Structure 1
Amino acid sequence: MTLLLVLISPLLLFLTLRMGSGLVQCRELEARKMDNSRRIANITAAIKDMLEDYDIRLRPRFGGPAIDIGIDIEIVSINSISEVNMDYTLTMYFRQHWKDERLSYDPCLGNVSLSGILAERIWVPDTYFPNDKRSFVHDVTVTNKLLRFHHDGTITYGMRITSVASCYMDLVHYPMDEQNCSLEIESYGYTTADVNFVWQYGDDSLEGVNNIEMAQFTLSDYKLIVKMQNFSTGSYPRLALTFRIKRNVGFFFLQTYLPSILLVMLSWVSFWINHEATSARVSLGITTVLTMTTISTAVRQSLPRISYVKSIDIYVITCYSFVFAALVEYAIVNYNYWLEQKKKVKEAHGIKNNPTQNSNNKKPPELQQFNPQVALRLSQVDSEDDILEDDEMKNSMGMDALNGNDRGHRRTSLTYRPQHRNNAQNNARNNTAYGPRYTNVNPSITRRRKKKPKRIRVLPRIRNVNTVDRVSRILFPFLFLLFNVLYWVGYLYVLPNRSKNE
């Protein structure tokens, strides 16, 4: 029996202590509930007492010194930076702090956080953003507003805002540019005699800057500014958040610069194509010119209609000039080539008609190097000059007829036989005779033909057209390489260092 009591007594003691602790916890819980109920009742009563005689129309310390409105901002994101509209989109947590002694209460109640709806029943600053285009307060799932009371009357009023603010951009160095954008904060109706805006925590009043990521820009620096703005109605306090963003050039290099470089290099391929392949060289030149035009149009569509020249315009225009110059180079080559061939035809024709030079029945060097098909093509080119000469002779005969001297012309017959109008047999039979023929021409007409004015040569004569292509193969790449060195060194190193020094 004694052994049984010894074994049961510890168990009874444990159950007694367990029941006692449970009773204590129950009493503490009931006391806590009562305290919470009393605290809620006290807070409700305190709010009721604060708002009972509260006049929302009067600022705190009305008639006394100006009150300080502290501002702090936490940036969520910066995006949609538009060069066309000159604006950017900023999402932030915007908080204001001020002290209103009329809203002080018992310190035992601690800090009280309430719904933002209560902000409609107390005085709040008339803060607005001067450079704002449009803004809104987020309302999912409820209106994103915070209202927190402190026992000494200090109030924290915060909200989540998305604002589209204007930002003037200087695009002279686009796309290697840096822009200064700002968010300005000001009181709309209260002057510096009533309110004073300050940054709540000094230089630490801006948070979230290190977490900002933008697609085309990099945030390089920011600055918090305090100033006054003078209007005709008075001086108003203003705060400004200014941040400096630098554009990333990688996208533009892949989108504009690299295709332009490849197109310029593609236009150089024509320098290695035979100058007689007209269709190949002309089609290549026109294709590169039209493609550069498309790239230039795409660049202008993504920018506002500004009058000054941008850095990307300089590069695109220069590439366009190189491509166009390659096409003009072939025009010069082709013109000089056919001009030289035409001269050889005339020299060969003169040697053939001279019996002293053709006594040994040997072909002269001009005829040995010449192709009959080239002569046929040149005779077609000369046909326009022959027709003009024929018109001059006809006009001359007409004038003689009017003067009564038409008898000689009746006995004189004029025969005009252009080479390109003969059939295939005449072409084969007359391979050595290039160009039109005139027979039995009046000497007076011949003298008039000799007196016609000489043509003015605009382009210099080039003896060997292949020399132009060989020079272009070296000159064009050298000039383009020199331009790229000066362009990239100037815009990536020289101009940024100069702007920093200024």
Structure 2
Amino acid sequence: MSVRLHALLTLCLTFTQGGCTYFNNHWGEWNDSQLQPTIQKLMKGYNRYLRPNFNGGPVEIGMSLDIASIDAVSEINMDYTATIFLRQRWRDSRLVFPGNESVSVDGRLVSLLWIPDTFIPDSKRSFLHDVTVENRLIRIFSNGTVLYALRITATIACNMDLTKYPMDRQVCTLQLESWGYNLQDVVFYWTRGNDSVKGLDILRLAQYSVESYYTSVSEAVYETGQYPKLVLHFALRRNVLFFILETYVPSILLVVLSWVSFWISQSSVPARTCIGVTTVLTMTTLMMGARTSLPNANCFIKAIDVYLGICFTFIFGALVEYAYAHFYTVKHHTIEDLHRELRRELNEYNWNGSILSSTQPNRSVETFPPAEEPADRQADSGARSDAGAEEPASSGGAGGLQSVKDASRRVASVFVVENPHDIDRRARTVFPAAFLVINVLYWLYYLFL
């Protein structure tokens, strides 16, 4: 019984091994028969270290871009982060095969082929997406044309002019160059001109809108030679509505709030001082908040800095106006008190004098000058009038000097305050009118010039 069981097990193992061997050999033959005309045959004698047309002219490489997204535009670092689909096409005569079909190759086989050494010269950081595998595409056409596509996210430098921030317009570029092959080896060109770039028309950004874009072909000149270069230029217009709601409108409201003090009595010192100090501190906080998203150390005087400076000047001017008005109010009260005191003393003196005159009627007091004095005064005044008549004749420049003195007196009289309450009345008109005029000039300059 045991002998029969042993023989049965041996027979089963023999059939099993034979079946496995048969299927393994059949799978291997099927693999070889399918891969032979495409990969193994094309790779036979292929040297990926030599470019196509190695002994001939340069390789012409056509490029096209799809802009998937522009994630962030940073004014502090002066760069932008973009995700792009880069497609490159070139013809390699070593990869020609019969037929009119194309072969899509696994992206992991890119190490078997020659590919251009394209790079982004202004890139600060970049990486190739690799989920779930590296995002590469290789497609070989029957005439030897190779399509190589990949998805890249790169942070690219962009020199910005922030003079008109936030009404600015920035022109950024995306450059593509060859790292090691010069113009004798490789030539770059856009496959369809401006139509080679897709995605910018439908792109939606948080603070910007794409105004225009165009492509160009140029050369990069370095110490080691001249290299091919493709450039994508695109203009970004900043959306100013966000800044109007966040910065400009609060600034205007603070300026208007500072004018409320012009309608408050000058005797209410705590109320007017509180409004002035509160608006100044709030404006200072608003100015600091507007600078958080901007470079700290730069030579730009931005449009928003100019406007916030104007608003701060008006708010501070309202506080100074109250100090000026309060000073003249105190001075006016002091003069009135002095006049009142003098009138009181004069009344007391007159009252005492009348009492003395009534008690001493026989005492006389000489209050008039001698009779000869009027004649002397008339003679003196006549002499002065004659001298005054002769003075213009003798000196022609005295009249001009007198006119200058009169003009200076008129100018000085403007600043002489007779009634301190007139300061607030004038401020109610001067401050809003000046602020309106400056706003018109500001918006005309930064929006249309």
Shared fold, TM over 0.5: yes
2:270 paired with 1:279: yes
- Give the structure-2-normalised TM-score: 0.77
Residue equivalent to 1:480 = 435
2:157 paired with 1:202: no
Residue equivalent to 2:40 = 48
User: Deviations 1:375-420 (Å, cap 9, x if unpaired)?
Assistant: xxxxxxxxxxxxxxxxxxxxxxxxxxxxxxxxxxxxxxxxxxxxxx
2:205 paired with 1:220: no
The amino acid that maps onto 1:184 is Q
Give 1:294 shift.
Answer: 0.6
1:295-374 matches, within 5 Å, as 295-304=286-295, 305-355=297-347, 359=351
1:218–1:247 Cα contact (<8 Å) kept: yes
Give 1:98 shift.
Answer: 0.6
Q: 1:189 aligns with which of 150, 162, 180?
A: 180
The amino acid that maps onto 2:248 is Y
Cα distance in 1 for partners of 2:168, 2:141 equals 47
User: Deviations 1:342-378 (Å, cap 9, x if unpaired)?
Assistant: 11222222333335555299xxxxxxxxxxxxxxxxx
Cα distance in 1 for partners of 2:192, 2:46 equals 29
Residue equivalent to 1:471 = 426
Q: 2:241 aligns with which of 234, 250, 266?
A: 250
Q: Tell me, what secondary structure is at the counterpart of 1:189?
A: coil
Give 1:39 shift.
Answer: 10
1:253 and 1:71, CA in 2 relative to 1: closer, same or farther beyond 3 A? same
Residue equivalent to 2:109 = 118
2:76 paired with 1:84: yes
2:276–2:319 Cα contact (<8 Å) kept: yes
Cα distance in 1 for partners of 2:259, 2:347 equals 48
Cα distance in 1 for partners of 2:81, 2:57 equals 36
The amino acid that maps onto 1:204 is D
Give 1:200 shift.
Answer: 1.4
User: Deviations 1:446-474 (Å, cap 9, x if unpaired)?
Assistant: xxxxxxxxxxx9x9552211111011111
Give 1:310 shift.
Answer: 1.1
Residue equivalent to 1:165 = 156
Cα distance in 1 for partners of 2:112, 2:350 equals 119
Q: Tell me how many residue pairs correspond in the alignment.
A: 362
1:92–1:160 Cα contact (<8 Å) kept: yes
1:200 and 1:40, CA in 2 relative to 1: closer, same or farther beyond 3 A? farther
Cα distance in 1 for partners of 2:36, 2:286 equals 68
Cα distance in 1 for partners of 2:109, 2:44 equals 14
Give 1:79 shift.
Answer: 2.5
Q: Tell me, what secondary structure is at the counterpart of 1:179?
A: strand
Cα distance in 2 for partners of 1:253, 1:40 equals 69
2:105 paired with 1:145: no
2:96–2:143 Cα contact (<8 Å) kept: yes
Give 1:301 shift.
Answer: 1.9
Q: Tell me, what secondary structure is at the counterpart of 2:139?
A: strand
2:332–2:420 Cα contact (<8 Å) kept: no
Residue equivalent to 2:360 = none
1:351–1:358 Cα contact (<8 Å) kept: no
Residue equivalent to 1:235 = 226
Residue equivalent to 2:383 = none
Cα distance in 2 for partners of 1:132, 1:204 equals 24
Cα distance in 1 for partners of 2:351, 2:433 equals 53
Name which of structure 1's ranges 323-332 and 47-56 shifts more when overlaid on structure 2: 47-56
Cα distance in 2 for partners of 1:134, 1:201 equals 28
Give 1:489 shift.
Answer: 2.0
1:358 and 1:344, CA in 2 relative to 1: closer, same or farther beyond 3 A? farther
Name which of structure 1's ranges 291-300 and 254-263 shifts more when overlaid on structure 2: 291-300
Cα distance in 1 for partners of 2:144, 2:306 equals 61
- Give the structure-1-normalised TM-score: 0.69
1:352–1:358 Cα contact (<8 Å) kept: no
Cα distance in 2 for partners of 1:143, 1:355 equals 107
The amino acid that maps onto 1:201 is R
Give 1:120 shift.
Answer: 1.1
Q: 1:462 aligns with which of 417, 421, 432?
A: 417
Residue equivalent to 2:372 = none
Unaligned ranges ≥5, structure 1: 1-36, 362-456, 496-502
Q: Tell me, what secondary structure is at the counterpart of 1:317?
A: helix
1:203 and 1:39, CA in 2 relative to 1: closer, same or farther beyond 3 A? farther
1:428-447 matches, within 5 Å, as none
Q: 1:179 aligns with which of 151, 170, 173?
A: 170
Q: 2:86 aligns with which of 74, 87, 94?
A: 94
The amino acid that maps onto 1:470 is R
Give 1:43 shift.
Answer: 4.0
Q: Tell me, what secondary structure is at the counterpart of 2:351?
A: coil
Q: Tell me, what secondary structure is at the counterpart of 2:188?
A: strand
The amino acid that maps onto 1:463 is E
The amino acid that maps onto 2:325 is V
The amino acid that maps onto 1:297 is M
Give 1:302 shift.
Answer: 1.4
User: Deviations 1:52-110 (Å, cap 9, x if unpaired)?
Assistant: 321111111112100101101111111300111100111111111011111122216x2
The amino acid that maps onto 2:277 is I
Q: Tell me, what secondary structure is at the counterpart of 2:284?
A: helix
2:38–2:103 Cα contact (<8 Å) kept: no
2:253 paired with 1:262: yes
Q: Tell me, what secondary structure is at the counterpart of 1:210?
A: coil
The amino acid that maps onto 1:166 is A
2:64–2:87 Cα contact (<8 Å) kept: yes
Cα distance in 2 for partners of 1:474, 1:46 equals 87
Cα distance in 1 for partners of 2:103, 2:243 equals 53
Give 1:201 shift.
Answer: 2.0
